[in-house]
């Protein structure tokens, strides 16, 4: 149908071009020549319409008769008006609307009516020495301009998606030979298997309707003389719920579907889903394998001191027209409040101070130790025991027994804990030459210490 429209409009353009270039339709018969600018003339009901014609004759001073006749499917053929020289003879039945002003052959119809739609013939006869005549045919299309089209959507209350069908009907109260076109959101309609047009294009069937059909539809009504466009109409389509989600303040959200809220902090959750009509919202708390309804409406406010440490909540949406529902679950975890967070911060600061203090003390002690060692050196002399003879040991033993050691006693002393004789190992006696041999024998637990005392003799 849209194609027909296109062809028709291009036809109009062609006629317009014809008009523009003044194609000459020449009726030649004898010496009379008739010229018309265009063979198709479009008339608007109620307005005057001119049927322009020129003719020429070779000779002057002769009788000239101009005759207009009309023929249509409904009324057949009839004489409209005739003039001989400058004398008009209008048809008594139709003549009151047809005007001719000889010698011009141009016919004026005022006002033009729908019944004037048809074929017109102009005939010019010249009676001189010889009788000659010429005729030319013109086509007149008379139309009523289209009024503003109105689109009705059916069912008027709305259609449920995937269930109902919808019909859009375009009507014009006035207008003849109207053809219809549809625009979807201002663009030419692309048909699909779900969209069917009636034969006259006045109606658009959508079967079944979907949410995608929720657009502005415009009906364009046109005829050869006018174009008029309807107000856009969006059919009422019930759909959803879609895109269900729960929102809260972003600072509470820790991951998808998990919110952490400080104890004592008030918190809100907003549930939203795309749906027509608006959803019915209900909230549930899930705890201990029990689902408890807690609220109705899109926004849930929670006083966090009144809720468990960790609880699951559910937002259920229900579209009471489509009968569809959806639900989403989320978890609320109680975390430290701002106050507790500060307290925690304070205590961690405290322990940090303690750690730093302890470390500093330790470092000071180590430093002190090294300083002391530096200024009060303590020389430890270890001498190879091999340098000492058993006599040294014997002497040492004697000295230790002595009450008052003499100056000569100054030297190197070594205390040796010698194991009990019974514990002496089974070393062959011949190999035991010194006490050292005993001590050195492996597996004998020997403890020895060296004390050095070097008094200065002055
Ligand atoms: C008829 O003749 C007049 C003047 O002679 C001219 O202006 C007009 O364009 C002609 N019309 C046609 C249809 O030839
Ligand atoms: C028509 O007009 C021509 C010249 O203009 C004249 O010769 C002729 O007699 C007229 N005919 C009639 C019937 O008046
Ligand atoms: C459309 O029709 C209305 C009347 O229904 C009219 O007032 C208006 O001018 C028309 N518009 C066009 C563009 O023809
Ligand atoms: C919608 O139209 C289809 C055919 O296009 C028909 O089979 C179906 O019954 C209609 N549904 C309703 C609800 O009218
Ligand atoms: C239809 O058009 C109006 C105005 O341009 C706009 O406000 C509305 O959202 C549109 N509706 C749809 C379904 O596109
Ligand atoms: C359906 O839900 C809407 C919006 O919540 C409400 O206004 C309407 O009364 C409900 N209709 C029925 C039949 O429950
Ligand atoms: C929850 O309750 C249902 C029915 O009352 C039961 O079958 C299920 O095992 C329970 N689940 C837990 C985790 O207690």
Q: What is the CATH number of the domain that holds 265?
A: 2.60.40.10
pLDDT band at 57 (very low <50, low <70, confident <90, very high): confident
Residue whose pair of structure tokens reads 């470092």 in the numeric block: 363
Same domain membership, residue 381 and residue 400: no
Backbone angles phi, psi at 290, to 5 degrees: -135, 135
Mean pLDDT is lowest, of 50-54, 242-246, 284-288, 372-376, for 372-376
pLDDT band at 89 (very low <50, low <70, confident <90, very high): confident
Residue 139 lies in a domain: yes
278 Cβ closer than 6 Å to some ligand 6 atom: yes
The tally of domains found in the chain comes to 5
pTM: 0.63
Same domain membership, residue 260 and residue 221: no
59 Cβ closer than 6 Å to some ligand 2 atom: no
Cα-to-centroid distance, 164 and ligand 4 (Å)? 7
Residue 1 lies in a domain: no
Q: Which two tokens stand for residue 406?
A: 């003499």
Flag whether pLDDT at 166 surpasses 60.
yes
What's the pLDDT at 349? 59
Flag whether pLDDT at 311 surpasses 70.
yes
What's the pLDDT at 373? 80
Q: What percent of the chain has pLDDT over 90?
A: 48
323 Cβ closer than 6 Å to some ligand 6 atom: no
Flag whether pLDDT at 148 surpasses 60.
yes
Flag whether pLDDT at 254 surpasses 70.
yes
Cα-to-centroid distance, 92 and ligand 1 (Å)? 30
Cα-to-centroid distance, 162 and ligand 4 (Å)? 10
Same domain membership, residue 310 and residue 407: no
Flag whether pLDDT at 169 surpasses 90.
yes
Same domain membership, residue 393 and residue 311: no
Same domain membership, residue 219 and residue 261: no
Q: End of a domain among 213, 235, 257?
A: 235
Q: End of a domain among 143, 176, 210?
A: 143
- Of residues 26 and 125, the one with the higher pLDDT is 125
pLDDT band at 409 (very low <50, low <70, confident <90, very high): very low
35 Cβ closer than 6 Å to some ligand 1 atom: yes
Flag whether pLDDT at 418 surpasses 50.
no
Mean local confidence (pLDDT), 294-306: 88
Same domain membership, residue 410 and residue 443: yes
Q: End of a domain among 100, 116, 143?
A: 143
Give nearest CA residue, ligand 4 atom 10.
Answer: 165
Residue 276 lies in a domain: yes
207, 213, 322, best to mutate for ligand 4 pocket (most atoms within 8 Å of CB) = 207
280 Cβ closer than 6 Å to some ligand 6 atom: yes
104 Cβ closer than 6 Å to some ligand 4 atom: no
Polymer length in residues for the chain: 458
Nearest atom within ligand 3 for CA of residue 145: 14
Residue 2 lies in a domain: no
Residue 66 lies in a domain: yes
Same domain membership, residue 133 and residue 31: yes
Nearest atom within ligand 2 for CA of residue 64: 1
Q: DSSP states of 235-267 as a string?
A: --EEEEEEEEEEE--GGGEEETTEEEEETT-EE
Same domain membership, residue 162 and residue 135: no
Flag whether pLDDT at 297 surpasses 70.
yes
What is d(CA 77, CA 71) in angstroms, rounded to the nearest whole number? 4
85 Cβ closer than 6 Å to some ligand 2 atom: yes
**Contact status, residue 261 vs residue 244, Cβ threshold 8 Å:** no
Rounded to the nearest 5 percent, the helix, strand and coil shares of the chain are 20, 45, 35
148, 171, 222, best to mutate for ligand 3 pocket (most atoms within 8 Å of CB) = 148
Same domain membership, residue 413 and residue 433: yes
Residue 6 lies in a domain: no
52 Cβ closer than 6 Å to some ligand 1 atom: yes
- Of residues 423 and 68, the one with the higher pLDDT is 68
Same domain membership, residue 133 and residue 40: yes
Residue 268 lies in a domain: yes
What's the pLDDT at 11? 45
216 Cβ closer than 6 Å to some ligand 5 atom: yes
Flag whether pLDDT at 78 surpasses 70.
yes
Same domain membership, residue 29 and residue 112: yes
Supply the range of the domain harboring residue 75.
23-143
Flag whether pLDDT at 198 surpasses 70.
yes
What's the pLDDT at 107? 94
**Contact status, residue 142 vs residue 112, Cβ threshold 8 Å:** yes
Give nearest CA residue, ligand 5 atom 13.
Answer: 215
- Of residues 83 and 303, the one with the higher pLDDT is 83
Residue 14 lies in a domain: no
Same domain membership, residue 354 and residue 327: no
Residues 6 or more apart in contact with residue 181 via CB below 8 angstroms: 1, 2, 5, 188, 189, 201, 219, 220, 221, 222
């Amino acid at each position: 149908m849209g194609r027909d429209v296109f062809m028709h409009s291009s036809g109009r353009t062609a006629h317009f071009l014809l008009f523009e270039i003044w194609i000459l339709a020449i009726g030649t018969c004898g010496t009379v020549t008739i010229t018309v600018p265009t063979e198709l003339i479009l008339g608007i009901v109620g307005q005057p319409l001119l049927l322009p014609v020129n003719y020429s004759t070779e000779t002057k001073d002769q009788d000239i008769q101009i005759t207009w006749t009309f023929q249509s499917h409904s009324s057949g053929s009839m004489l409209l008006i005739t003039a001989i020289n400058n004398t008009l003879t209008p048809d008594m039945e139709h003549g009151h609307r047809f005007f001719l002003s000889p010698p011009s052959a141009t016919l004026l119809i005022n006002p033009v009516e729908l019944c004037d739609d048809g074929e017109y013939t102009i005939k010019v006869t010249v009676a001189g020495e010889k009788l000659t005549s010429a005729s030319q045919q013109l086509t007149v299309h008379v139309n009523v301009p289209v009024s503003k089209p109105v689109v009705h959507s059916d069912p008027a209350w709305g259609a449920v998606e995937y269930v109902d069908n919808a019909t859009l009907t375009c009507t014009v109260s006035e207008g003849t030979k109207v053809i219809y076109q549809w625009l979807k959101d201002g663009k030419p309609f692309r048909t699909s298997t779900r969209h069917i047009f009636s034969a006259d294009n006045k109606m658009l069937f959508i079967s079944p309707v979907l949410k995608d059909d929720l657009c502005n539809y415009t009906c364009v009504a046109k005829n050869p003389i006018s174009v008029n466009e309807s107000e856009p109409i969006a059919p009422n389509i019930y759909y959803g719920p879609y895109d269900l989600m729960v929102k809260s303040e972003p600072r509470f959200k820790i991951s998808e579907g998990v919110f952490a809220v400080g104890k004592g902090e008030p918190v809100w959750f907003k549930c939203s889903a795309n749906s027509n009509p608006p959803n019915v919202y209900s909230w549930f708390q899930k705890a201990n394998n029990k689902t408890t309804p807690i609220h109705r409406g899109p926004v849930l406010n929670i006083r966090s001191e009144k809720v468990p440490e960790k609880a699951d909540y559910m937002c259920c949406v229900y579209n009471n027209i489509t009968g569809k529902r959806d639900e989403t679950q989320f978890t609320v975890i109680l975390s430290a409040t701002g106050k507790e967070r500060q307290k925690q911060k304070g205590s961690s600061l405290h322990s940090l101070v303690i750690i730093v203090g302890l470390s500093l003390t330790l470092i000071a002690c180590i430093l002190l130790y090294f300083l002391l060692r530096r200024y009060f050196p303590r020389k430890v002399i270890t001498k190879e025991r091999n340098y000492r003879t058993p006599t040294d040991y014997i002497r040492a033993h004697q000295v230790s027994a002595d009450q008052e050691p003499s100056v000569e006693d100054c030297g190197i002393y070594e205390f040796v804990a010698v194991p009990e004789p019974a514990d002496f190992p089974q070393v062959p006696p011949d190999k035991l030459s010194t006490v050292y041999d005993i001590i050195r024998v492996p597996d004998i637990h020997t403890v020895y210490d060296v004390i050095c005392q070097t008094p200065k003799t002055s």
